[in-house]
C-alpha cells in the first residue's frame, strides 16, 4: 500500500491522540504530534522548550515560524518518505496549512486526507477536566477551545475546498470511532 500522508483535526480532548496511535499502528506511518514534540523539548530543557513552556501553559499557540520549522525538519526525513505521516495538532492556523502544502510540494508529495474528529464543546471540556494534565486548567481549556474555533476550525473549509476533508463523529468508544475513521480514510482516498 502506498504511504499515506494524513492530517487529524479535532478539538483538544476529541480523542485525536488515541485515534492517532491506532492509525499509525494500522497504516504504519510516522506519528508527528507537534504537542508531543513541544512537550519533549520542555522536558529536555532546550531553548525551544523554554520558549514554548509559558505559551503552552497559558493555552496560547506557539508561533507559526517555530511550528513550521519543526514540521519541515521532520517531514524531510527518510522514514516519512518511506512510511508516510500522520500530522496530529498541526496545522492549527491558515499560515501553517499553507506552509504544510508548500513543504509537501517541495518534497514531491501531497496530502491524502484530513480527518476531523468531531466532538461537541461540552463533551471535550468534561473530558479534558477529567484527564488532569498540568496545562489543563479550566482557564487554559477555555482559551484553547476559543482559539480552536477562531483559528483552526476555518481550516476545515480549507481542506474541504481541496476535496480532502473526511468528517468523523467522535462520540462513542475508541473502537467505534476508529472503525468510522478507517472507513472515512478508505472512502476519501478512493
Ligand atoms: P496539543 O498536545 O496538540 O494540544 O498541544 C499542546 C500545546 O502545544 C498547545 O496548546 C499549543 O500551545 C502548543 N502547540 C501544539 N501544536 C501547535 C501548533 N501546530 N501551533 C501552535 N502551537 C502548538
pLDDT at 190 over 80: no
Kindly list the protein residues whose Cβ atom lies closer than 6 A to any atom of ligand 1: 12, 34-35, 38, 55-56, 59-62, 67, 89-90, 92, 96, 144
> Which pTM value belongs to this model?
0.92
Give residue 16 CA to ligand 1 midpoint distance, Å: 13
pLDDT in tens, 55-111: 999 889 999 999 999 999 999 999 999 999 999 999 999 999 999 999 999 999 999
- Domain of residue 11, residue span: 4-189
CATH number of the domain where residue 154 is located: 3.40.50.300
pLDDT in tens, 139-166: 989 999 999 999 999 999 999 999 999 9
Q: Which residue has its alpha carbon closest to ligand 1 atom 8?
A: 35
Q: What is the pLDDT of residue 6?
A: 97
pLDDT in tens, 54-69: 999 988 999 999 999 9
Q: How many domains does the chain have?
A: 1
The secondary structure of the chain in percent helix, strand, coil, rounded to multiples of 5, reads 60, 15, 25
Distance CA 26, CA 182 (A): 9
Amino acid at each position: 500500500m502506498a504511504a499515506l500522508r494524513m492530517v487529524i483535526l479535532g478539538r483538544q480532548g476529541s480523542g485525536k491522540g488515541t485515534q492517532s496511535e491506532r492509525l499509525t499502528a494500522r497504516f504504519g506511518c510516522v506519528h508527528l504530534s507537534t504537542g508531543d514534540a513541544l512537550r519533549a523539548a520542555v522536558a529536555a530543557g532546550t531553548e525551544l522548550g523554554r520558549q514554548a513552556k509559558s505559551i503552552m501553559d497559558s493555552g496560547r499557540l506557539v508561533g507559526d515560524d517555530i511550528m513550521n520549522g519543526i514540521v519541515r525538519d521532520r517531514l524531510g526525513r527518510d522514514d516519512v518518505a518511506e512510511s508516510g505521516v500522520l500530522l496530529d495538532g498541526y496545522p492549527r492556523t491558515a499560515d501553517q496549512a499553507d506552509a504544510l502544502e508548500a513543504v509537501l510540494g517541495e518534497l514531491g508529495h501531497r496530502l491524502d486526507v484530513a480527518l476531523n474528529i468531531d466532538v461537541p464543546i461540552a463533551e471535550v471540556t468534561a473530558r479534558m477536566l477529567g484527564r488532569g494534565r498540568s496545562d489543563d486548567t479550566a482557564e487554559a481549556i477555555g482559551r484553547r477551545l476559543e482559539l480552536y474555533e477562531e483559528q483552526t476550525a476555518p481550516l476545515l473549509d480549507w481542506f474541504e475546498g481541496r476535496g480532502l476533508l473526511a468528517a468523523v463523529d467522535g462520540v462513542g468508544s475508541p473502537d467505534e470511532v476508529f472503525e468510522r475513521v478507517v472507513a472515512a480514510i478508505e472512502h476519501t482516498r478512493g
